[in-house]
């Protein structure tokens, strides 16, 4: 899907400043080392699924607001050991996206001085800096929900060239009716139209019943075997 720039809203509506988590208290060692080791401000870059912004100068406060958040919040930077202000913003799950952002430098709105990519907001005339969010698939545990309005979409990862199917209460647990399509080597997908309701299912992989690794909702039958659960809503 092509990148798109979210329409920019006037900054006059923004009132909330967000301190956020400690910029250096992150689970990624690579990100921690990058933030703490920056000796000068540099253009935006992606490090381990985070957008990293930076600023240098004798400022008391540096913040940033973003178009993909509708300018609702100001995210506070933190100063590292070299005196560089740094900020790490998580890349949202979904398609690739071009976003606009502005900095707050001691209370003054400004474009990012170290980012040459800019555009002028047609509504306010303000100069906005641009950055890119890369695609970040939603098919991870805790993010992906197979159920949707009017149906479900199942994903499974395994060895390439296998026969993978979905068996559940929607097909009387038949392992042959709904075979998944291998969209890329080792990645399988199946979309089904289903009426609203609760359903239980497993994947059939190499002759074994496998609950959905992406779905946290697990139930156990009288035989002790786990099945995955979804709830389909109306369109």
Q: What is the CATH number of the domain that holds 73?
A: 2.60.40.10
Does residue 112 lie within any of the structural domains? yes
Same domain flag for 96 and 151: no
Same domain flag for 164 and 215: yes
Does residue 140 lie within any of the structural domains? no
pLDDT of residue 232: 94
CA distance 234 to 185: 33
pLDDT of residue 20: 45
Does residue 4 lie within any of the structural domains? no
Mean pLDDT of 43-62: 97
**pTM beyond 0.85:** no
Residues 171-206: tens digit of each pLDDT: 999 999 999 999 999 999 999 999 999 999 999 999
Instruction: Judge contact between 188 and 195, C-beta under 8 A.
Output: no
**Partners of 203 in the beta sheet?**
166, 210
Same domain flag for 104 and 20: yes
Torsion region of 173: left, alpha or beta (phi above 0 gives left; psi -120 to 50 gives alpha): left
Same domain flag for 117 and 165: no
Same domain flag for 128 and 163: no
Answer yes or no: is pLDDT of 2 > 80: no
Q: What percent of the chain lies above the pLDDT cut of 70?
A: 89
Number of domains observed in the structure of the chain:
2
Residue 28 burial (CB count, 10 A): 14
Does residue 167 lie within any of the structural domains? yes
DSSP string, 215-234: ---EEE-TTS-EEEEEEEBP
Contacts of 6 (CB under 8 A, 6+ apart): 67, 68, 70, 97, 99, 100
Host domain of residue 198: 147-232
For residue 35, give the nearest of 104, 81, 98, 86 by alpha carbon. Answer: 86
Same domain flag for 100 and 160: no
pLDDT of residue 186: 96
Mean pLDDT of 108-128: 93
What is the longest distance spanned by two Cα atoms in the chain?
68
Last residue within a domain, chosen from 133, 156, 184: 133
Does residue 1 lie within any of the structural domains? no
pLDDT of residue 22: 56
Answer yes or no: is pLDDT of 14 > 50: no
Contacts of 125 (CB under 8 A, 6+ apart): none
Does residue 157 lie within any of the structural domains? yes
Contacts of 27 (CB under 8 A, 6+ apart): none
Query: 70: which 2 tokens?
Result: 């509708």
Does residue 103 lie within any of the structural domains? yes
CA distance 215 to 35: 33
Please tell me which residue, 189 or 1, carries the higher pLDDT value. Answer: 189
Residues 74-113: tens digit of each pLDDT: 999 999 999 999 999 999 998 899 999 999 999 999 999 9
């Amino acid at each position: 899907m092509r990148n798109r720039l979210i329409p920019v809203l006037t900054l006059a509506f923004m009132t909330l400043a967000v301190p956020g988590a400690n910029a250096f208290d992150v689970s990624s060692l690579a990100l921690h080392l990058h933030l703490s080791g920056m000796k000068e401000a540099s253009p935006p870059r992606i490090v381990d699924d985070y957008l990293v912004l930076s600023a240098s100068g004798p400022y008391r406060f540096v913040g940033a607001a973003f178009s993909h958040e509708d300018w609702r919040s100001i995210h506070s930077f933190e100063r590292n050991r070299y005196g560089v202000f740094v900020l790490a913003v998580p890349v949202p799950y979904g398609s690739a996206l071009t976003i606009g952002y502005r900095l707050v430098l001691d209370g003054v709105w400004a474009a990012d001085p170290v980012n040459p990519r800019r555009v002028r907001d047609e509504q306010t005339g303000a100069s906005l800096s641009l950055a890119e969010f890369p695609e970040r698939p939603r098919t991870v545990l805790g993010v992906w929900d197979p159920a949707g309005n009017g149906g479900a979409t199942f994903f499974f990862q395994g060895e390439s060239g296998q026969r993978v199917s979905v068996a559940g209460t929607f097909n009387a647990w038949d392992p042959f009716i709904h075979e998944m399509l291998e969209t890329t080597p080792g990645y399988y997908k199946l979309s089904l139209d289903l009426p609203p309701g609760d359903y239980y299912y497993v994947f059939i992989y190499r002759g074994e019943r496998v609950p959905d690794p992406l779905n946290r909702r697990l139930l156990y039958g009288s035989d002790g075997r786990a099945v995955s659960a979804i709830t389909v809503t109306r369109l």
